[in-house]
Structure 1
Amino acid sequence: MAVSPEPARGTDAARESRRGAKRIPRRAAAGRRSFTSTLKALDALAASGAQVSVRIDDLDRGSAVLVGDDFLSLPIAGLGVVPLLVEVAAQFEAGTLDPLEIVDRAGLEPVTVSGLWQHLKAPALPLSDIAVLAASAGDALAANALLSRVGLPAVRGRVEQLGLSRSALMDSFRDVRGPDDAPHVALGSTREYAQLFASLVNSEAVSPGVSAQVAEWLSRDHDLSLVGTSTGLDPFAHDNDEHGLLFINKTGRAPGIRTEAGVLAGPRAGVAYALFVCFDDLSIAHRLRAHDAFRTLGVELMEYVF
């Protein structure tokens, strides 16, 4: 994995001096932090044959902190629903889609790979609740319901509008992929997904209203088992942290695939990040080694923002 170090800070330091003394401690603190342990973990994964891609951007400075093969388009599993959520929120805002429209799951092809709706008694839900399930619980059936309602061409158009040239939502979720199906749900690059999450928190994804809606859905994500482990947040209630920590994320999981992108912000800094790992899922040890790399990144991200 080719890794580019953080850019030199000479010009940044001069700009910060002009902005005022209140900004200097934050930059100085952030500048002392590194991602040495993360690099070691990712290098070990790459040496074992895994495909690894990582991108971390400082939200305040608008510059890259860590870059490693961030241009690669890799399979990202459930993380690919984020552009779908953007399209749904955009149609809600435009009035072309009713948030209270009821969708009955009986009209959908059954899929059991992940999620809660398949286990609920309610056979039909409004689109707004379905979006919450897709964002917070990685619900494959809910994501398929949204996709069936807005259509894959609309999502592909939104992906293009968002400037995601190396990313694509390719198909719905399926229990079994046949020879005529797309090989993966979605592809993406860490560069584009870090930038997408940055645009969400900066109110730049389609519109401030759409950005806020998608960020709200993602702030309910229950999967804090990878990067989120190091935040110490409650997986089921972390949208208003008493210590001022902002964390929104989305993960993707499939056999041999672990991906995550998000935003983490604390009192000293804020970052948008993405880490994708594709590995041979030959044993629990192989899987745990991939998970450990995400958790190592989480620790060093916390050090950076605090």
Structure 2
Amino acid sequence: MGTPPEPKRDTASLRGSRRSNRRLPRRAAVGKRTFTSTLKALDELAQTGAKVSVRITDLDRGSSVLGGDDFVTLPVAGLGMVPLLIEVAAAIEAGTLDPYEIIERTSIERVEVGGVWQHLKAPALPVVDLAVLAASSGDAAASNALIQRVGLPAVRARIEQLGMSHSALLDRFRDTRGPDDAPHVALGSTRELAQMFAALVNSEAVSAGVSAQVAEWLSLNQDLSLVASATALDPFAHFNDEHGLLFINKTGRDDGIRVEAGVLAGPRAGVSYALIVCFDDLSIMHRLRAHEAFRTLGVELMEYVY
């Protein structure tokens, strides 16, 4: 087995380097710590028949800032790959998975629902590069290759070890789902998703090394179109932000499903958050209405932390 790569930065640096000494007193945030617009947007979605779940947790206090049906299990699409990445990083750290093991693309069934690997000429990639593709672009083929390599039972055991009793990785990505296939890729609750991201930045997901490695992979995520659109970060290079923001996230998308979870920390405060919206994707306007709720949450999260 190969030697696991050393994480380039530990999890403490992920938070500490972004939380400057110019942090404002908490009383200065009075009047900016409500999520009135978010609640209004989510209520309007619920009135149209959408299923909505939201959770925001203050990282310093560990208390809930906002919660709405955060215990309900809903489909989370590609966001279910985060526990997969945690299992991959844990196996690398334990020495049971060689990070440079080469996986052939032909070893998995072709899938075209999204991602980059299907468009690359390279017919095979090492495990660590597949993890980068899965985290940064939600690559379906790379994710399926990792699922095949470590196995769904191992990921499910890891989810149980993380204490996520309302979450599950059910299946790989598929272009079409038949009657014999699982109805969704993954399920989860916003409470557990927010807790998982908090554990990553607090070095509590398996170990400090595993937490740092997964957080580093997720810091490469290029989908900043939902909650993250309010951060004004560069989607292709947003780790070293000159304005002192710490941000990692993962999104999930499927027909009528939009999900995002992550951590956002600024000079005033830090939060972990998760939002799931399951809606009738009947027109572009239905989709835009759902997306706007995510962006509204992003604006109010920025007001909370900055």
**Alignment TM-score, normalising by the size of structure 1:** 0.92
**Residue aligning to 1:88:** 88
**Residue aligning to 1:71:** 71
CA distance in 1, matches of 2:87, 2:93: 10
Q: Looking at both structures, which has the greater relative contact order when contacts are Cα pairs under 8 Å and sequence separation is at least 6?
A: 2
Amino acid at match of 1:145: A
Would the aligned equivalents of 1:113 and 1:175 in 2 still touch at CA under 8 Å?
A: yes
- Note the C-alpha offset of 1:31: 4.0
CA distance in 1, matches of 2:115, 2:25: 40
Would the aligned equivalents of 1:73 and 1:187 in 2 still touch at CA under 8 Å?
A: yes
**Residue aligning to 2:204:** 204
Would the aligned equivalents of 1:219 and 1:247 in 2 still touch at CA under 8 Å?
A: yes
- Note the C-alpha offset of 1:26: 3.2
Counterparts of 1:224-303 in structure 2, within 5 Å, are 224-303=224-303
Would the aligned equivalents of 1:81 and 1:143 in 2 still touch at CA under 8 Å?
A: yes
Gaps (5+ residues) in structure 1?
Answer: 1-21
CA distance in 1, matches of 2:248, 2:27: 25
Amino acid at match of 2:136: S
Paired positions, count: 285
**Residue aligning to 2:188:** 188
Percent sequence identity over matched residues? 76
**Residue aligning to 1:26:** 25
Deviates more, 1:26-35 or 1:271-280: 26-35
**Residue aligning to 1:6:** none
- Note the C-alpha offset of 1:29: 3.1
CA distance in 2, matches of 1:235, 1:221: 7
Counterparts of 1:104-143 in structure 2, within 5 Å, are 104-143=104-143
> Tell me, what secondary structure is at the counterpart of 1:237?
coil
Amino acid at match of 2:27: A
Would the aligned equivalents of 2:261 and 2:274 in 1 still touch at CA under 8 Å?
A: yes
Would the aligned equivalents of 1:30 and 1:269 in 2 still touch at CA under 8 Å?
A: no
Would the aligned equivalents of 1:26 and 1:269 in 2 still touch at CA under 8 Å?
A: no
CA deviations over 1:117-145 (Å, ceiling 9, x no partner): 00000010000000000000010100000
- Note the C-alpha offset of 1:27: 1.8
Would the aligned equivalents of 1:258 and 1:276 in 2 still touch at CA under 8 Å?
A: yes
CA distance in 2, matches of 1:60, 1:29: 16
Amino acid at match of 2:25: R
The verdict on how the C-alpha distance between 1:195 and 1:23 changes in structure 2, with shifts beyond 3 A counting, is farther
The verdict on how the C-alpha distance between 1:27 and 1:277 changes in structure 2, with shifts beyond 3 A counting, is same
- Note the C-alpha offset of 1:30: 3.6
Q: Say what the alpha-carbon RMSD is for the aligned residues.
A: 1.1
**Alignment TM-score, normalising by the size of structure 2:** 0.92
CA deviations over 1:73-113 (Å, ceiling 9, x no partner): 00000000000000000000000000000000011100000
CA distance in 2, matches of 1:25, 1:166: 36
CA distance in 2, matches of 1:173, 1:31: 44
CA distance in 2, matches of 1:133, 1:244: 26
Amino acid at match of 1:265: A
